[in-house]
Structures are given as C-alpha cells and as structure tokens.
Amino acid sequence: MKLIKQMKLRYKHIFLSVALLTGGCSKEAPFNIVTEEGEGQILKSALNVDLRDGELDQTIVRGTRGDIVYDDFKVTFTKDGASAPTSTYRYGDMPEIVTLDKGAYVATATYGENLDAEWENPYYVGRSDAFSIKPGEITDNVGEIVCRLENIKVSIAFAPILTQEMDASSFVEVKVVSGDHDAKGLRFTKSEENRGSAGYFRYVEGVSLVATFNGLVEGVKVSETKSIAKVEKGNHYKITFKLHTQGGENQGDANVDMKVDASVTVTNVERNVDLEEDEILDDSERPTEGPETPGGPDNPQPPTPGGNPEIIGVAPIDIDAINEIDGSLPVGLKVTSSATGGFQEFKVVIDSPDLTPEELESVGLSDNLNLAETPEQFAVPLANFGFPINVKGKDEADIEISTMLLGMLKAVGAGHTHKFILTVTDANGTTEKTLQLHIN
C-alpha cells in the first residue's frame, strides 16, 4: 500500500492556508499545529507502506490487497534509544495528524501475530529509516516502509498415487524445531490440500522444519519423517509426499514394498520465484553429533558410480511393456542417477497419433520436452500434468502423469497406443526407455 504521495503537499498547503485564513477571525485557532513547546507533528499520509508478497497477485490499493486489510496494520513510533514505543495505533484508527515530542524516531508497521504455529497467519514487519520530529514543524514523508514476511510458510501436497492408496485419516504433522525445543505443530490432511491451506511458523535462526507422514497405505501402517535444515523466514516451503512401491514378494512388509518419500519446492515469497530445491532428509539422515561412520544400516555407503541412469515404472506400470490403462489412475515412473553431478540431460518425446504438436500446443506443451533445463513457458503446464522440471544436477526425479493429461488422451485417442520416449543422460552414460500406454 503506497499511500497517495501526490496528496501530501496539497494536504499540507490546505492545512496551513486554512490556519492562516481563520487565525484572524477567531480567537480559537481551529488547528493546533504545535500543542506544546518542543513538540512536532507527523501526517498519517507520511507513512508509505509497501507490502512485498508476490504470492498475493492483487494490485496494491489503499485499504486492501487480497485478504490483507491495511487498516489492520499496527503502526508504532519509537524514539531513538527507547525500549518501548512512544505511540501505537491501528492504522485504520490513526488520526490524520500525530503529535510527538521532538527527537529522532523510527516508524514500524506490522500485520498479524508472530505465533509458534497457526493456519493462514502471515506475519509482516517493516521499519522506516530514522526521521526527525522538530518543534513547530510537520513531517510529511518518512520514506518507504517495506513490509516483508517474517515467519515461515508451509503447504503440503499428496501426490495422486499416494492419495489413492492412503486412507482418509492419513495426515502430515509439520513443526519447526530448534535444539531441544519442540514447538507446536499443525496437521495437514487431504482436506487442507484441497482448500489450499497454508501453515505459518515462527522463525528462529537455525530452525529446522520437520514433516511426518502418518497413515495407512495399502492397508499398512506407515510413519515417515522428513526434515529440512536451517529454513529461512520469508520462504514458502511446498512439500509433496509421494508413494514409491518397490519389488518384493512380501506384500506386508512396508520397508520392502513401499516407501513414502517427499520433495520440496522453496519459493521466495517477496519475489514469488522458486529457489533451488532444499535437500530433504529422512529421519535417519537428520544431523547428529559425533564422527561420521560410513556403512551400517543407519548410514549406508553411497552408491558406487558406474551405472547408467535407471528408469523404472511405479507399480502397476511396466516400462518394458504396453500398459493397458483407462485413464482413471495416474501413471508413475521413477528415474535415478548414481553419477556425480546427477542428470545432465532429461528429454521426453511424446509420440502419439492423436496428441499432435498442435493439440499439445493448445494446452501449453510441446511434443519434445526438456525436463533438465525447462523453458519458462512450459514449467507450469508440465508441473500441472505431473512432470518434474529443471532437474539438471539432481539424482532423482519422479514422473506422475496426471489423470488430467490421461483424460485428454482418452478423449482424443481411446483405443490407440501412445508413447513417451525418455532419454536421460548423466556422467556415466545415457539410458533411453519408452513408456507405452494403450488407452481403453
């Protein structure tokens, strides 16, 4: 909210003119510019508040921006050297002229409360540069007060395959921890994801974010903890939990046959741009004190470089066969690299008698996709259709072709076989596999 600058000078002139014109007509001055010796005044319009939150896409106006009510901002004036504010106002109730003792001040604007954990509770803080209040003078500009997000924003998503296999009571508990302090957490279910709910957590330097999935998956009780070290205020951590099914005859052994994994995208809220993905650690990988001891079940040796990238289907998908599908379930693939430096190239060519380049262009896609260094215009459509983006340098990527794209395939190409040709290159070599889908 940039308060209307062009009104300041005009307002000041009107204010002073009225005082001069009426001063000789009445023994009681209508405006008390200086109430006592040593006092000065500041105009409400001197506060130019700029809320920096790129995830709020509405234009700044005087009064509201999205769900932010500017009248609810708290404004404080604190004198230089003082430990407590001199004056505090709700912006909507603040007088047009505020009287302060002479001296140097800082104005602070805040919105929300800085709580340990709460739903939909962004906490914004901004401070002005120091300014002076001079006896008998009116201050009409203190410069820009930039308000930024001061807490941590978190949202949780459940990948389609996991959603279909987990029971309705499954949830992810999220909390921030620092040292021995175990703060209040929030529980995210599928309902919170459907509503687009976000949790906000108090920031403390060095704090870690811990997310624990709990629930029944394919009838098996699963508890899996993931953590992100040293999270930062002003960031939005978007964590997606996924199901990885693995081979094995013992279908009752969750450790062998299934694994709930997670990935995280970090967005800087002020700029609304995605940063590099943070490393997300299993519970057993969370930092502990003591010497590093390679080997053993809790600290396995890293994979030995040498093999080409691997592309495997997530059950029931077989990457080496034609898969009969009806489009009602997502199609999953897991791609991994054991080479230093991870993926160098990752391309997908769509070979379909029905999804022509023109048809794909109409939904924002191409028949030749670059997932290693994804062009900006394809990033959002690819993510919506279940493809990873900008995976160069990473050692793992999951493809979960969404029912939205499969439904489109069924609408235009039922009875036909559609191919997705994957070519993945790392320092060890190149692997090419073709995912074949026959739509019933």
pLDDT digits (tens, 9 = 90+) for 42-61: 999 999 888 888 776 433 33
pLDDT higher than 70, residue 66: no
Least confident window among 23-32, 53-62, 71-80, 199-208: 23-32
pTM tops 0.85, yes or no: no
How far apart (Å, rounded) are the C-alpha atoms in residues 225 and 186? 14
Mean pLDDT, range 148-158, rounded to an integer = 96
Helix (H) or strand (E) run with residue 334 in it: strand 331-336
Helix, strand or coil for residue 96? Answer: coil
Q: Which long-range contacts (CB under 8 A, 24 or more apart) does 93-96 make?
A: 94/44, 95/44, 96/43, 96/44, 96/45
| Per-residue pLDDT, 359 | 85
Angle at 106 between CA 55 and CA 31, to 5 degrees: 105
Least confident window among 153-157, 308-312, 353-357: 353-357
Domain ranges of the chain: 6-148, 152-285, 310-439
How far apart (Å, rounded) are the C-alpha atoms in residues 43 and 139? 6
Intrachain domains 6-148 and 310-439 with the same fold: yes
pLDDT higher than 90, residue 70: no
| Per-residue pLDDT, 410 | 84
| Per-residue pLDDT, 36 | 55
| Per-residue pLDDT, 245 | 55
Least confident window among 258-267, 299-308, 391-400: 299-308
Left (φ > 0), alpha (ψ -120 to 50) or beta: where does 52 sit? beta
pLDDT higher than 50, residue 228: yes
| Per-residue pLDDT, 272 | 61
Query: What's the sign of the alpha-carbon dihedral 42, 45, 50, 55?
Result: positive
Work out the pLDDT band at 439, boundaries 50, 70, 90: confident
Q: Give 94-138 pLDDT, tens digit per residue.
A: 999 999 999 999 999 999 999 999 999 999 999 999 999 999 999
Residue 60 or 239, more confident = 239
| Per-residue pLDDT, 275 | 56
| Per-residue pLDDT, 281 | 54
Q: For the domain 6-148, what is the CATH code?
A: 2.60.40
Least confident window among 184-193, 246-255, 301-310: 246-255
- Mean residue pLDDT of the chain comes to 80
How far apart (Å, rounded) are the C-alpha atoms in residues 177 and 199? 15
| Per-residue pLDDT, 297 | 37
* Structural class in CATH, domain 310-439: mainly beta
Work out the pLDDT band at 283, boundaries 50, 70, 90: low
pLDDT higher than 90, residue 361: no
Mean pLDDT, range 200-213, rounded to an integer = 92
